[in-house]
Amino acid sequence: MIFKSSVSKLNKYVFLGAILFLLLLTIPACFEDSYEPFLVMFSIHFLIILLLIWTYRTTFYTIKETDLHWKSGPFKGKIDITKINKIEYHKGILVPTIWKPALSHIGLIITYNKYDDIYISPEKQQEFIATLQHLNPNITFKNTPYVE
C-alpha cells in the first residue's frame, strides 16, 4: 500500500522560493566577460534544483508485508512495523527527530526499536495509522486525533 506525503502550502512556497533564489543567483554570472562563471554557477544551481524537485516529487511511504518503506529523493529506508513502539501526532515546523522524509509540518513521529525515530507526513494519516495498527496492535499513540 502506497501513501504519498502531504505537502503543506508553506513547503510549496519554500521549495519555489529556493528555486527562484538559485536562479536569481545565477544572473550576475551572465555579465562576466567569459562564459565559464555562468556555466559553473548554472551547473551547480541546476543540480541543486534537480535535487529539490526530485525530493518534492518522490516523497512517499509504502507498507509491504511487515515493513514500512520510506523514500524522499535520494534517501530511503525501511522500518520493521513489529518494532514500532509509539506514534505521536506532531504539528509544527521544528520536529525533534533526525530523519524527516516529509513535506508537511503536520505529521507523525514514529518511534521504533529502542531509541530510533522518524518524522513522516502521509496524506491519508487515518488510513495509514489504521494499517499500522492492524499489523502491530501493540503500538501506543500519543496526541493522535485518529485513535481513541
In the prediction, which pLDDT does 145 show?
A: 67
Instruction: Give the number of residues written for the chain.
Output: 148
Domain extent, residue 141, equals: 1-148
CATH value at residue 130: 2.30.29.30
Distance in angstroms (rounded) separating the CA atoms of residues 112 and 87: 9
What is the pTM (predicted TM-score) of this model?
A: 0.84
How many angstroms separate the most distant Cα atoms in the chain? Answer: 67
In the prediction, which pLDDT does 31 show?
A: 81
Q: Considering only CA atoms, which of 44, 132, 40 is closest in space to residue 86?
A: 132
pLDDT one digit per residue (tens) for the chain, 148 residues: 899 999 989 889 999 999 999 999 888 877 878 888 888 888 999 999 999 999 999 999 999 989 999 999 999 999 999 999 999 999 888 888 888 999 998 999 999 998 899 999 999 999 999 999 999 999 998 876 655 5
Q: How many domains does the chain have?
A: 1
In the prediction, which pLDDT does 38 show?
A: 85
Distance in angstroms (rounded) separating the CA atoms of residues 131 and 64: 11
In the prediction, which pLDDT does 64 show?
A: 93
E strand segments, 27-83: 59-64, 67-72, 75-80
Task: Compute CA 117 distance to the chain's CA centroid, rounded to the nearest angstrom.
Answer: 14
